[in-house]
Amino acid sequence: MANNANHIPRPTPEAEELFRRWLQFLDDEFVRHCAPERRAEIVRDQLFQLYLGRPASNRLNLTLTSELPGNVLSLSLDPENVTLEAEHYPDLDRERFARRKPLIWFWQMFDRSPIGLNHWLGIRFRCMMGRHIFDHLGTGVKIYHGVDFACGYNLSIGDGAIIRKGAMLQDRGGLKIGAKAVVGSFARIYSYTYDAVDNEAVTLQPTEIGEGARIASHAIVLAGTRVAPHEVVGSFPGARD
């Protein structure tokens, strides 16, 4: 029987070299440019290539009704033309968020593009982006497809943590995930609560997932929770009482 533990799937050498060059180019660009406007331009240009297969162009024919859908798509690939949920939060640190908004849009649109399902590339892309978006991102982290978060600057992820697909990390009030913790697929972790009567009244409550803790798939962690190191929240397939 073949030992699958020794087989790590990866792209062809030519593709891997190209993928690494692209990630290094993006990393260098986001280190070099922190201004929101310049970052938005970089993201727009990259999304034009990913979605439309051509460089960005400012020459849109805005008069033809037949071209309205294409123009809506083209304009929406520019982060300056979109709004994100976090921008509606009255407690948002707008200066800190402005630097991250283009990168958050890039993250979301990458995951919604066909190449977002490229497992090898996607994990490396998200970790590269996370270093520019999050308050802290440790080494050896794995973030799978479709992971969602709000502000970015309130999120800290420790070394070796694993965030599986579709997890929601609601970092509005502050969220810290410890080293080697595992957040299961489609888990929901919150850091704020709504008032039971006034839906506009929000209380921010930092949440912490301890080192080595495990949050099961589809589990919900409420705001203000302190999950102890190595604690298990929710149930896992095959687990026994």
- Please name the helix (run of DSSP H) or strand (run of DSSP E) that holds residue 169, with its range, or none: strand 168-169
The CATH classification number of 20-233 equals 2.160.10.10
pTM: 0.91
Question: Rounded CA gap, 212 and 232, in Å?
Answer: 9
- Rounded average pLDDT over 152-159: 98
Share of the chain above pLDDT 90, in %: 80
Would you say 156 and 181 are in contact if contact means Cβ atoms under 8 Å apart? no
Residue 1: alpha-carbon gap to chain centroid: 38
CB atoms within 10 A of CB 145: 18
Domain ranges of the chain: 20-233
119 touches 96 (CB < 8 A): no
pLDDT digits (tens, 9 = 90+) for 5-55: 567 889 999 999 999 999 999 999 999 999 999 999 999 999 999 999 888
